[in-house]
Amino acid sequence: MITKNPIRISPIAHQEIVDTLHINKIPDTYGLRVGMKGGGCGAQFLLGFDLPTENDHVYVVDTIKVIIDKRHLMYVIGTEVDYEETEEGAGFTLVK
């Protein structure tokens, strides 16, 4: 059993998540889902707002509710959610 938070959230990503929740009036029952999409060489990280299900672990990382599917946990342990702004645009990144 994991006793500490399996992921980290950078300070800038934390602020962007809080702002997004507030601006979009996302209910407190939702959390930030972190997981995997696809498999094999085509696997990609997944990030979005969602409701927890019975297949999920729920953590609180720096005041943010984080939802991770039990099947994805081993793939996202040690991941950091960050937020980057470049000339091409801005968005969240997941760095392992």
CA angle 49, 55, 57 (to 5 degrees): 65
Tokens of 3: 């006793």
Q: Is the pLDDT of residue 23 over 70?
A: yes
Q: What pTM value is reported for the model?
A: 0.88
Residue 1 confidence (pLDDT) = 46
Residue 3 confidence (pLDDT) = 53
Residue 96 confidence (pLDDT) = 82
Average pLDDT over residues 2-12: 86
pLDDT digits (tens, 9 = 90+) for 31-88: 999 998 876 666 788 999 999 999 999 999 999 999 999 999 998 999 999 999 999 9
